[in-house]
Amino acid sequence: MELTVKGKIFTPTGMREGSVRISGGRIEEVGERISPSGEVLDFRGKIILPGLIDMHVHLRDFRLSHKEDFRTGTRAAARGGYTVVVDMPNTLPKVNKISVLKKREELGKRKAVVDFGLYFGVPEKRSELGKEVRRRCLGIKVYLPEDGGKEILEETLRFAAKEGLLVISHAEDPAFFRNGERPVEAEVMGIRRMAELSLKHHFRLHITHLSSSAGLGELEKWREKTKVSADTCPHYLLLTHRENPLFRVFPPLRLEGDRTALLSALRKGRIEAITSDHAPHLLEEKEDPAGPGGFPGLETELPLLLTLVKKGKLGLREVVRACSEAPASLLKLPAGRIERGYVGNLTVVDLKKSFKINPSEFESKAKYSPFEGRMVVGAPICTIVRGRPVFLDGEIMEGLGGKNVKTYGKVG
């Protein structure tokens, strides 16, 4: 199948009117004077971005399908402008066995609307680490304290280093939790512990959902010593601890000074990526003060970021770097750029479209949001995966079928 997309193309040096031609799922040509072929989508006046990648989502499914499943979660991604989402392994059952990993991949291929990646959890047995993980997974997810026990954790980290897999860590040390509270010290010490392990075992470390200025400072101390990167989330960039307790999240929302420090670091490129940490739960669970952390985010993430662009608090360049280029680079994917040979994933946005966030309209099964009622300016209007529109004219098209991005191969 061939597709030609016309509009203002985002490039590292600025915008330019032109066309992107995609053939066989790959970008074949980018330029101002391209002869259209195949289906033509004309978005003149709108912005064509490299397809967005969210490297931290929870699609639930399995025995948690009442909260979300691959279909509803990836429909949310498509509507939100995301061409690739990477699923966390803390499902029920956990994705830390090869047998479960294979079932997870098949589930994704059967139900996903956009493409997907998988992380593997720290296994109970060394025998679970091998070629199947290497072939099917983008990385290893680690929780502290020693996930599964110190011995198997370190064996898993050595495996990740050997195979070049990213280690993505929820870096909070429970030893510092007090009476249900998760102070900044827990994040600082969690980052320190994981960075020490990275220095020891030489794996690539990624700290996910960074929430505090102190955590950011700890991260900076390790940048010249080991390979470390980080992401943060829109809720840490826009909200503080004063928000409704319904919007409990881990790590927790912090102070205004933390929020502004994270936004500044993002602008400077000291935080590489932005993720949604899309974490749907039942509303009745969230209404319990001791309930689970997290909320849906895939359908609000991009409009919130584009609104920051509109207000002059972020540049569109930073959004593309954090939501397309950096995730692709960290995960070693031939995506995230509008260049010949890259996978034909595109996100088309209307920077002038304004609307009020209404969770009742979400594709996600979770119909609530800390951003409910907020006016946003800027929205995705088309999501293209491997040269096929999966979201267009307000409608989601499910015919393509999801693909494990581990099978993307290389540029070219």
Identify the three-state secondary structure at position 258. helix
State the catalytic residue, choosing from 277, 288, 350, 393.
Answer: 277
Based on the residue annotation, tell me whether 277 is a catalytic residue of this protein.
yes
Tokens of 184: 């900044």
Biggest CA–CA distance in the chain, Å, is 65
Q: Are 74 and 114 in contact (CB under 8 A)?
A: yes
Interstrand relation of 115-121 and 375-385 (parallel, antiparallel or unpaired) = unpaired
Q: Are 67 and 366 in contact (CB under 8 A)?
A: yes
The contacts of residue 144 (CB under 8 Å, 6+ apart) are: 169, 170, 171, 172, 173, 174, 190, 193, 194
In total, the chain counts a number of residues equal to 412
Helix 184-201 × helix 150-163 angle, to 10° = 60
Long-range contacts at 388-397 (CB < 8 A, ≥ 24 apart): 388/1, 388/3, 389/3, 389/41, 390/78, 390/113, 390/114, 391/78, 391/79, 391/81, 392/41, 396/75, 396/78, 396/79, 396/113, 396/363, 397/113
Q: Are 274 and 232 in contact (CB under 8 A)?
A: yes
Beta-carbon neighbour count of residue 134 at 10 Å? 16
Which of 17, 44, 20 shows the shortest CA–CA distance to 342?
A: 20
Beta strands in 58-108 (DSSP E): 82-87
d(CA 358, CA 147): 38
Q: Which amino acid is at 303?
A: P
d(CA 261, CA 266): 9
Residues designated as active site: 277
